[in-house]
Structure 1
Amino acid sequence: SSIPAMLRYGLTGNLCRCTGYDKIIRAVLDTASEMRGSK
């Protein structure tokens, strides 16, 4: 299973789905990438 799919599963039932999770997932992935780069 892909990371974005796991994030979508984790968000299910927790947030409004009317606009989708694309921006939230992109932000999580960008932040994780930045955190990995700073170590």
Structure 2
Amino acid sequence: SRADDSELTDDDVIVRYESGEVVGLTVLHASKRRTPQSSSK
């Protein structure tokens, strides 16, 4: 499949579309997105 449209969201995710349907996601700066793990006790 080939994307015919894409959009960049405010949180740096590229959403790719083909015929109006989502066919792919690209998360930019993924290595910097790690969230601290919270302990649940």
Q: Does TM-score exceed 0.5, indicating one fold? A: no
Structure with the higher strand share, 1 or 2: 2
Structure with the higher helix share, 1 or 2: 1
Q: Which has the higher contact order (CA 8 A, sep 6+)?
A: 1
Range class of TM-score, shorter chain:
under 0.3
